[in-house]
Amino acid sequence: MKSAWTMLGLTLLAASLAAAPARAGDTAEPPPPCEVPAYLLSTENALPKVTEAVKANRPLSVLVVGSRSSTILGNEPSAYPAKLQAALKEALPSATVDLSVELQGKSTAEDTAGTLVKLVEAKKPTLVIWQTGTVDAMRAIDPDDFRAAIHDGLAALRNAGTDVVLVNLQYSPRTETMISAPPYLDNMKVVATQLEVPLFDRFAIMKQWSDAGYFDLFSTSHGVDLAKKVHACLGRALAKFVIDAAHLGPVQQN
């Protein structure tokens, strides 16, 4: 509902949003469609290696590097990396999609950046999905240091010859009074723009879902169901994002 208002405000400001779905809270009942506004899934930055590999019918090898929010403990097959792989396979039926996950639970961006080159040398991925920022925000790392670390990590990956997609923090309303996400979100956006790396805005997307009433992210439920649903949607959205960034044709997209 809130998003309807937000959208309304934005539409008034920019007619270009006219096509955006301004839906009210009446979507609570049907299964979550986890729709994402187009602007959150489109990027100006390309993934040339991915495009090349798919067009040449070479296997597409994806490496997800992330912290604990890249998995659901005990339910790895339901976490977003596995869902991403499934969605990519579905969208690119002729391609082979390999995917591996490298979890670095308590590493800051700086810690991880140092390991990226070795990882790439070992696994030779076409595409690295780098999810980061949460640990840094929780430890309140100096945003300048954080920005430098992201910059170094992305540059190293580029030099190593892979494509990169950067994934930012989760939207976590319950911990909003304790974790200050904005500086880290901003810096990731800045570096991604600078280095022309596609940024998957997980925070904005999850916030959008919460505002639209698809998911109750405030929920205190101890069950794993919500996590599974959210990850399934994230995986699908991320697949769309990758396909769009790699310009793999509107045929597969929807």
Partner 1 sequence: MSSIADPIAGSPVAEAKAEAKAKAVAASPAITLPAAGERELRLDLFRGLALWLIFIDHLPTNLLTWLTIRNYGFSDATEIFIFISGYTAAFVYGRAMLEAGFLIATARILRRVWQIYVAHVFLFTIFLAEISYVATSFENPLYTEEMGIMDFLKQPDVTIVQALLLRFRPVNMDVLPLYIVLMLFLPLILWLMKWKPDVTLGLSVVLYAVTWQFDLYLSAYPNGFWAFNPFAWQLLFVFGAWCALGGARRMSRILSSNITMWICIAYLVAAFFVTLTWYVPQLGHIVPKVIEQWMYPINKTDLDVLRFAHFLALAALTVRFLPKDWPGLKSPWLRPLILCGQHSLEIFCLGVFLAFAGHFVLAEVSGGAVLHALISVAGILIMCGMAWIISWYKHSADKGASKKGAGGNADLAGGEA
Cβ–Cβ under 8 Å, residues 22 and 11: yes
Beta-bridge mates of residue 164 = 128
Nearer to partner 1, 42 or 57 (CB): 42
Give least dist CB 121 to partner 1, A: 27
Nearer to partner 1, 52 or 176 (CB): 176
Give least dist CB 105 to partner 1, A: 8
Amino acid in position 7? M
Give least dist CB 98 to partner 1, A: 26
What percent helix, strand, coil does the chain show, rounded to 5? 55, 10, 35
Short-list 114, 120, 220, 208, CA closest to 170: 208
Give least dist CB 185 to partner 1, A: 10
∠ CA 226-229-235, nearest 5°, is 135
DSSP string, 72-86: -TT-GGGSHHHHHHH
Nearer to partner 1, 116 or 137 (CB): 137
Give least dist CB 92 to partner 1, A: 27
Residues interacting with partner 1, by CB under 8 A?
1-2, 4-6, 9-10, 13-14, 16-17, 25, 39, 67-69, 72-73, 75, 134-135, 138-144, 147, 170, 172-180, 183, 186-187, 190, 193-194, 213, 216-224, 226-227, 230-231
Nearer to partner 1, 6 or 252 (CB): 6
Q: How many Cβ atoms from other residues are within 10 Å of residue 142's Cβ?
A: 10
> Token match 């300048």: residue?
144
Nearer to partner 1, 61 or 187 (CB): 187
